[in-house]
């Protein structure tokens, strides 16, 4: 099932077909799936860059709409949301002009699939320069309809702590750059411990992404982070859901 822009070719439309892969986010404490993140892929499973390199200022809005719809339709087809697992979708705040109008396409797709907004996480990346006032308005509108908002790649982009205080997201995903090799890096360990404490005090849900080794996983656990994503648990699967052996990673 490959989905691209449903509109006829225009200068402002995104006319290249694309699809999705899914990577799980695991709750170590319960040993259950917390969410599946939808990741853009080419129609043959090519990496995200094969699609994102075609996104321009002119077609950004059309792509963002198509990507959100694609993620929801695939999740529905794969019966992702039959239980309590959430769907995490990346979106581009800079592609949204009028939040009240733009949110309609997500709500329509979710309603058609029978997915309540409270089961959908919308991720925005910290590495993209953002109009703070505009994005805060987007978050306000989307939250009002029940969506949960996540800041992706925290710590890798523009003014991390300042942006955190301005956006006040529901969820923060710690960038893999901080996680990589953390078991052998005392500075990273201290940084992660304090970041986790800060986010906990703010009532923000924390996800550690990019966990690739058991040693990294143990450090993440030791600072109280229970939600984890990375190759250690499961690689993204093209047009399918990865089902890791959750009992192997559950806290006992």
5 lies in a domain? no
Q: Please identify which residue in the block is written with the tokens 């505009």.
A: 134
**Residue 68 forms part of a structural domain:** no
Residue 17 lies in a domain: no
Average of pLDDT values for 41-50? Answer: 94
Sign of CA dihedral 80, 81, 83, 86: positive
Confidence check: pLDDT of 252 > 60: no
Q: CA-CA distances (angstroms) from residue 187 to 102, 175, 181, 192, 224?
A: 42, 15, 11, 9, 17
> Higher model confidence: residue 190 or residue 59?
190
| Average pLDDT, integer, range 94-121 | 85
- The pLDDT of residue 8 is 30
CA distance 172 to 205: 6
87 closest CA partner among 53, 129, 120: 120
Number of domains in the chain: 1
Q: Is residue 61 assigned to a domain?
A: no
pLDDT band at 251 (very low <50, low <70, confident <90, very high): low
Residue 180: pLDDT band (50, 70, 90) is very high
For residue 180, being part of any structural domain is answered with yes
3-state secondary structure 172-183: EEECHHHHCCHH
Report the pLDDT value the prediction gives residue 135, as an integer from 0 to 100: 83
Average pLDDT of the chain?
Answer: 87
Digit-coded pLDDT (tens) for 220-245: 999 999 999 999 999 999 999 988 87
User: Taking the complete model, does pTM exceed 0.85, yes or no?
Assistant: yes
Does 187 map to a domain? yes
Statement: residue 215 has pLDDT above 90: yes
Model pLDDT for residues 21-40, shown as the tens digit of each residue: 999 999 999 889 999 999 99
Q: Which long-range contacts (CB under 8 A, 24 or more apart) does 203-207 make?
A: 204/169, 204/170, 204/171, 204/172, 205/170, 205/171, 205/172, 206/171, 206/172, 206/174, 207/25, 207/34, 207/150, 207/171, 207/172, 207/173, 207/174
Taking CA atoms, 137 is separated from 131, 167, 230, in Å, by: 10, 10, 31
Q: What is the CATH number of the domain that holds 32?
A: 3.20.20.450
* pLDDT for the residue 5: 35
Q: Which domain holds residue 129?
A: 23-39+83-241
Q: Please check whether residue 11 lies inside any domain of the structure.
A: no
**Is 174 part of a structural domain of the chain?**
yes
Q: What percent of the chain has pLDDT over 90?
A: 61
Please list, residue by residue across 79-118, b when 16 or more beta carbons sit within 10 angstroms of its beta carbon and e when fewer do.
ebbeeebbbbbbbbbbbbeebeebbeebeebbeebebebe
Identify the pLDDT of residue 11. Answer: 29
Q: Give me the percent of the chain exceeding a pLDDT of 70.
A: 90
């Amino acid at each position: 099932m490959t989905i691209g822009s449903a509109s006829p070719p225009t200068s402002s439309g995104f006319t290249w077909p694309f699809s999705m892969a899914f990577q799980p986010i695991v709750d170590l404490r319960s040993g259950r799936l917390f969410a599946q993140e939808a990741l853009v892929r080419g129609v043959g499973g090519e990496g995200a860059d094969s699609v994102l390199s075609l996104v321009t200022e002119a077609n950004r809005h059309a792509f963002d709409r198509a990507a959100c719809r694609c993620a929801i339709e695939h999740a529905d087809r794969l019966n992702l949301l039959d239980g309590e697992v959430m769907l995490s979708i990346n979106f581009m705040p800079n592609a949204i002009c009028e939040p009240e109008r733009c949110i309609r396409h997500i709500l329509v797709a979710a309603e058609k699939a029978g997915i309540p907004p409270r089961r959908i996480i919308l991720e925005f990346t910290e590495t993209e320069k953002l109009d703070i006032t505009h994005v805060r308005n987007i978050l306000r509108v989307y939250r009002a309809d029940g969506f949960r908002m996540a800041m992706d790649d925290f710590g890798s982009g523009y003014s991390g702590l300042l942006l955190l205080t301005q956006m006040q997201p529901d969820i923060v995903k710690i960038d893999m750059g901080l996680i990589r090799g953390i078991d052998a890096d005392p500075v990273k360990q201290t940084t992660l411990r304090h970041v986790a404490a800060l986010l906990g005090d703010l009532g923000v849900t924390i996800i550690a992404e990019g966990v690739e080794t058991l040693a990294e996983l143990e450090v993440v656990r030791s600072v109280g982070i229970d939600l984890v994503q990375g190759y250690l648990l499961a690689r993204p699967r093209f047009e399918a859901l990865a089902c890791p052996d959750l009992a192997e990673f559950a806290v006992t």
